Amino acid sequence: VIVVLLGPPGAGKGTQAVRLARALDLEHVSTGDLFRDHLRRRTDLGEAAESYMRAGDLVPDSIVTAMVRERVADGTRFVLDGFPRTLAQAQELESFAPVDAAVLITVPDDVLRARLTGRRVCAVGGHVYHVTEHPPREAGVCDVDGSLLIQREDDTEETVSRRLEVYREQTRPLRDYYALDSRLLEIDGTGSVETVARRMAAALGGIPALPS
């Protein structure tokens, strides 16, 4: 069973992937974790990826795909988070791990913008806050360690707009690809983590390969 999670930055994909994996007894595969693991173990793939990242380039499809292929080789039940990101990756994935369902978490742009641009991160411990949803006790200061809270470059208005544009361009073909043979499930990603998780479970309940 392979479930793919798709969604814009700020949709809560990572959080939902972890919950879904637990609920349906799937292994959670996140490309972020894969990268970190390969870098830590100094594998050939990790070193190849690092040379691109150091040069400020995107890691090529072939390297990411090879990491995923290796990770899913010894199992049968996975939820993929952060992969595929492009149509080429999706087509390659079919050749070694055919996808049963692709869940697309949709959230209106203005909600995503508010979620992302309001995010503040502790400069020392990485603790995460939000100016309205999860404010620190004292503005601009981390509750845990008293460090300064900063807005990451990724979360500024301008960068957020660009990230959402890139996401839309890359995801449209993926969405069409999975919709073509009815593997696409669209989920409303607004509301609490609980609410979204329930919607997702309900939508996946219709997939015979996924008894809950």
> Contact, 199 vs 107, CB < 8 A?
no
Q: Which is nearer to Zn ion, 58 or 148 (CB)?
A: 148
Whether residue 152 lies in the annotated active site: yes
Start-to-end CA span in the chain (Å): 13
CB of 131 to Zn ion, least distance (A): 16
Among 20, 24, 68, 142, binds Zn ion (CB under 5 A): 142
Report if residue 209 touches Zn ion, rule: CB under 5 A.
no
Strands 119-122 vs 128-130: parallel, antiparallel or unpaired: antiparallel
Whether residue 113 lies in the annotated active site: no
Q: Which is nearer to Zn ion, 21 or 142 (CB)?
A: 142
DSSP of 174-209, one letter per residue?
A: HHHHHHHTT-EEEEE--S-HHHHHHHHHHHHTT-TT
Those residues with Cβ within 8 angstroms of residue 207's Cβ, 6 or more apart along the chain or in another chain: 100, 101
CB of 140 to Zn ion, least distance (A): 12
Q: CA–CA separation, 27 vs 119, rounded Å? A: 29
Beta strands in 27-113 (DSSP E): 27-30, 78-81, 101-106
Q: Which is nearer to Zn ion, 59 or 141 (CB)?
A: 141
Tokens of 41: 């173990």
Among 152, 162, 168, 198, the one annotated catalytic: 152
> Which residue, judged by CB position, is nearest to Zn ion in the bound state?
122
Whether residue 183 lies in the annotated active site: no
Among 58, 144, 150, 202, binds Zn ion (CB under 5 A): 144
Segment 121-140, which members bind Zn ion (CB under 5 A)?
Answer: 122, 125, 127
Among 115, 119, 120, 199, the one annotated catalytic: 119
Chain residues that interact with Zn ion, rule: CB under 5 A: 122, 125, 127, 142, 144-145, 147
- Residues marked active site are found at 13, 85, 119, 152, 163
